[in-house]
Structure 1
């Protein structure tokens, strides 16, 4: 085969080298991430990989206009308005990786959507993030960052009340019903599973780092190595979620990435750590004198604080997302900022001054990291351009502060309305991605609103 043009920058040489290095691999997951962060695509056989790299793969445009259940959302304009025609997905350079613990052996590769002429399909979340990276590059800035992954390991069976329960230890089937926050011994019961997660991450080129037992029964957190490229940071998060889910399933338990699977305990966040480098590789958030914050980091905080309310739908995109926000829950309830303070929404962590960064804490683990990063970068850019003052630092209990902060929506419906009317969010995501995302969320809200749930029967069956 001869080399052909790929708008993503992928090359036949990469695929040929991979096949030569991995003669055992029989098939590949080719994965495109939609507005909800769901991986959609196909499994192709080994002999199909080179033709995929040579000419891309035709996929229907509607694949980016689906709701959480995989149903068409006509209001996105991506279904019958376009005749549900095919576009072309192309592999992303550097994302072709072997998978761990699969029978028969498989690999995976991420892809992005383009039109038939090779132009970026603007309802692809990955392109939305690249657009903000490019805008910052025009200012001489390059964002770096990493996401944190919080998740639950749950039993495959529910209890007598229909509630999800923590998974028993895969080592010896010991039950776990207590909040074992930071318990090292508690982690040991899941070591066979964690070992497979680390092995799969290493095989995929991901530097998965610290594992801790988090603030709820069955809840864990896994940190990722800081990346000098935020696109790679988002890729790491998406790939690691697939890894955790697959390895948990192999060990007979369920990995849960809902924001709030248990009403009695803390939910799961996806904190995004972000900094900015100039053309010389210098972290522009670093202050000259430790603790005397630079105008750059203050203006970045100001932009994030000013835009948080209208952006909350990106950070909390589902009905369940909004159950995570409550006082004393380690999830922020107002757009506050502070230093070494986990009760605020925007935190400057303690540590080496050279690693100065902002920890953006509102997003749940159920959010799409490409859209989260795009929105956060757009907020920072706005703050830098407009030199927005973030207001006074919040000290002490951030849940008692924030009365003077810009308001944020109180619920999912309010967040959808705020996002629909937000010129900032339209600019942050791009008009097409904004229309697609908000239309999908409105359709999902309508689905939930018309559903008669067990809560309805519990409250009203015998009482009204």
Structure 2
């Protein structure tokens, strides 16, 4: 039975895909949970039509699972209504092909039987904030930068993970090689596959650099409407992971995989357009910064402490803040200053925007975008003042003197009691997310690490 798709998807998109790729026999259908992990199925070619005509059943409990896939009963979405399924529908313009796997891929979103959004899904939280922005005539625009490591499938002699060997020649380097073009050339067979896949997925990957550690890279994605920018992150991470596996390596999106090396962030660039397409963050005719942009920055400064659990959702996320350099856990802002949390790039003019630098690459892009946009809108609504920008290098003790949470547990407690986070995410997602994070914290609190054995085991 054909049902009108509540996501706005149309069967014509599936028809065009099947005609363009007659060799494809399998399609990955991917729904993103609160951790940013893709949950779903691989369907066969003949099943794609029914996905577009009537959706596909999946359990709502996927949004009440911890990162390992175990149910968290206190999430409020496990075995509700007898554990029945909800229906997932394709997200328009996300159906594409991954040549290196030979399969198609489409993102899906979950809805209730009456066609209303299932509110525990993170993407719907962002949709609600985008709709909120539309009421005064704003169109949120954005792009994410992704930092990540490529890791060798084999550990070193000490059984530790190590940076991947280059795909071109198998050479292994432990040097930092920041912004080395030769290093990019040595890894180019992998990135050629990634860029080829992006072209078939409607994903515009742009600049590639070797980052501030051996095996660390950064990819930027083209600026576009904020909701699709978050979809792009989900698509890009899955593309990079699957391509890396076929070269005998793993893509690592942990925020801090190596304690003595640089962490990996997911910087969000944000601006607002008005109803005629003008950038409201563009400079004033006299060269001053936009009042709307400054109010947005002020709103985020007021709320970022409450949102730290969204920006740094795992225990490992907090290791990234051990050094303030390039990983600012603060509410400071500045112009052309990479040591602050909210950076206004120095290029003046109508294209001005700001960059939110706090989130790790392990964060859920929908939730990061939702709380960031919600904070910006709150600042605009109250005409908030961001205060003076930071001049020069942010002092190393800035985090210790900030009002932000100082640990993962602090962030869990603060987010749980935050009316702002509850409103930005919605009550159902807020409850589920807090419950899942607290269950993860309690699980890890019982684990005794090898480092503890080495340091304390036979000494104290």
> How high is the TM-score relative to the length of structure 1?
0.97
Shift of 1:99: 1.1
- The answer for the alignment partner of 2:238 in structure 1 is 242
Task: Measure, in 2, the Cα distance between the counterparts of 1:247 and 1:404.
Answer: 40
Q: CA deviation at 1:40?
A: 0.2
1:404–1:70: structure 2 CA closer, same or farther, 3 Å change rule? closer
SS of 2:370's equivalent in the other structure is helix
Q: Report how far residue 403 of structure 1 moved.
A: 7.8
Q: Secondary structure at the match of 2:178?
A: coil
**Structure 1 residue aligned with 2:39:** 40
Residues 107-256 of structure 1 mapped to structure 2, 5 A cutoff: 107-227=104-224, 229-256=225-252
Q: Which residue of 1 aligns with 2:303?
A: 307
Distance in 1 (CA, whole Å) between partners of 2:287 and 2:337 is: 14
Is the partner of 1:212 in helix, strand or coil? strand
Q: Report matched runs for 1:357-436 at 5 Å.
A: 357-400=353-396, 402=398, 407-436=403-432
Distance 1:71 1:54 in 2: 31
* Partner of residue 354, structure 1: 350
Calculate the TM-score normalised by the size of structure 2: 0.97
- Cα RMSD of the aligned pairs, angstroms, is 1.5
Q: Deviation string for 1:165-200 (max 9, x for gaps)?
A: 111111111111011111111211101001111111
Contact 1:335/1:405, CA 8 A, preserved across alignment:
no
SS of the residue 2:321 aligns to: coil
Q: Please report how far the alpha carbon of residue 4 of structure 1 lies from its aligned counterpart in structure 2 after TM superposition.
A: 3.2
How far the C-alpha of 1:81 sits from its partner, in A, is 3.6
Runs of 4+ off more than 4 Å = 400-406
Q: Secondary structure at the match of 1:397?
A: coil
The structural deviation recorded for 1:402 is: 4.7
Question: Higher mean Cα deviation, 272-281 or 399-408?
Answer: 399-408
Residue-by-residue CA offset, 1:217-241 (whole Å, 9 max, x unaligned):
11000111111x1111011111010
Distance (whole Å) between structure 2 residues aligned to residue 402 and residue 460 of structure 1: 31
SS at match of 1:309: coil
Q: Report the 3-state secondary structure (helix = DSSP H, G, I; strand = E; otherwise coil) of the residue aligned with 2:87.
A: strand
Residues 1:401 and 1:463: Cα distance change in structure 2 (over 3 Å): closer
Shift of 1:26: 0.3
Query: Is 2:10 aligned against 1:11?
Result: yes
Please state whether the residue corresponding to 1:364 is helix, strand or coil.
Answer: coil
1:57-111 alpha-carbon deviations (Å, 9 max, x no partner): 1111111111100000111111134321111111111111111212xx2101110
Cα gap change, 1:181 to 1:291, in 2 (>3 Å): farther
**Residue-by-residue CA offset, 1:426-448 (whole Å, 9 max, x unaligned):** 01111111111111111111111
Structure 1 unaligned spans of 5+:
none
Conservation of the 8 A alpha-carbon contact between 1:290 and 1:353: no
Question: Separation in 1 of the partners of 2:306 and 2:365?
Answer: 17
Determine the C-alpha separation between the residues in 2 that align with 1:372 and 1:146. 12
**Equivalence for 2:88:** 89
The Cα offsets for residues 363-406 of structure 1, whole Å up to 9 and x where unpaired, read as 00000000000000000011001111111100111135758985
Q: What CA distance in whole angstroms lies between the structure 1 residues aligned with 2:352 and 2:246?
A: 39
Q: CA deviation at 1:3?
A: 5.4
Q: Equivalent residue for 1:65?
A: 64
Contact 1:333/1:399, CA 8 A, preserved across alignment:
no
Q: Separation in 1 of the partners of 2:16 and 2:279?
A: 36
